[in-house]
Amino acid sequence: MRLAMVAGEASGDLLAASLLGALHERWPDLTTAGIGGPRMQAAGFEAWWPSDRLAVRGYVEVLRHYRAISKVRDELAERLLADRPAAFIGVDAPDFNLGLEARLKRAGVKAIHFVCPSIWAWRGSRAQKMAASCDHVLCLFPFEPELLQRHGVAATYVGHPLADLIPFDPPRAAARAALGLGERDEVVAILPGSRRSEIEAIAPAFLRAAARMRRERPGLRFVLPIAPGLRGLVEPLAARDAPGVDLQLLDGRSHEALAACDVTLIASGTATLEAALFKRPMVIGYRMAALSWQIMKRLAYQPWFGLPNILCREFVVPELIQERCEPEALARATLAWLGDEAGTRRLRARFDELHHLLQRDTARLATHAIAQIVEKA
């Protein structure tokens, strides 16, 4: 059995790696290759290109890298059509994967997309594109299959693998001990994103917010997980924007940081769902290029930006997006959680419900769906 896969950036690498273990259990002789990251490679995946080649955000930013990314996609398609796998699995990265899937599907290669693009938040026109691109979509959220089926797209709800990976009762004491934090310390986790472009746009405001919080509450401790290869970018920003702040820079270890913290200041994205599954209060911030933001605002047709709010269908945590993502507002909203025990308890109850909803043994269900498609072929 041979499958091809493409996963973009850190979140896709994590999702794909969780799937690979179950796929190997189903087919012990399985080989997989394509585009992937370090977690996938640790699970036996052969990465012809690294996943960070696709880690570009926003409309304007993608245009700058379009030629290089398009060249990779063309070369990958030619390689897969010359030596066809049993199926292709595109993990998230819809701007890259849907076009590739359409080309492979037209040529008779089964195309599966893992992670439904957020057609329920914006870019609803993608549903029609998916009907032409994929044979099946594996959905992380329970309301997505019905939306896709309205457009003739076959889909299966498989739950979210993070809900299986993250313990229902987070190991706060163990995480604090591992990070050298005291039981009574007040701890803020700073997560400004996992992509270089995100950190350049978001980290300065987050770090300046940390400096403001520290001035108001001198005993605060801060932890900041850094994605692989980005320490050289983060360290000078921390020195410039948060001088004198008790800021512990971590190589990875984002789950330990979320388990240990009292509240997190966090960039919008998959990490916000991780924070919700760790049952942590949060303030969501985000910035992007001005033109990209104007385009996205016009495409949006619901009021929420962050995943916890989208899934709960209300603003359960603050969102400070674009011009509102500035240090004073970020610091004020983050500190507000530290003084709101009743609000924190209510939020924990909502996140408990969310965890139960998403916990479905995702890798096993996804593998079963993939097997039905492959073996039918």
Domain count, the chain: 2
pLDDT band at 174 (very low <50, low <70, confident <90, very high): very high
pLDDT of residue 100: 96
At residue 90, the 3 state secondary structure works out as strand
**Is 121's pLDDT higher than 50?**
no
pLDDT of residue 10: 78
**Is 285's pLDDT higher than 60?**
yes
**Is 9's pLDDT higher than 60?**
yes
Report yes or no on 165 lying in a domain: no
Residues 335 and 369 occupy one common structural domain: no
CATH of the domain at 63: 3.40.50.2000
Query: At a CB cut-off of 8 Å and minimum separation 6, what does 367 contact?
Result: 19, 22, 23, 25, 26
pLDDT of residue 249: 97
Residues 145 and 210 occupy one common structural domain: no
Report yes or no on 58 lying in a domain: yes
C-alpha–C-alpha distance, residues 198 and 266, integer Å: 11
- Least Cα distance to 308 among 343, 346, 270, 335 occurs for 270
Domain region containing 243: 172-358
pLDDT of residue 300: 57
Q: How many residues does the chain have?
A: 377
pLDDT of residue 269: 87
Residues 141 and 176 occupy one common structural domain: no
Q: For 64-68, 136-140, 363-367, which range has the lowest pLDDT when averaged over its residues?
A: 64-68
C-alpha–C-alpha distance, residues 89 and 19, integer Å: 11
C-alpha–C-alpha distance, residues 300 and 122, integer Å: 4
pLDDT band at 30 (very low <50, low <70, confident <90, very high): very high
pLDDT of residue 91: 95
pLDDT of residue 299: 57
Residues 211 and 353 occupy one common structural domain: yes
Question: Once rounded to an integer, what is the mean pLDDT over residues 273-300?
Answer: 81
User: Token match 């897969």: residue?
Assistant: 80
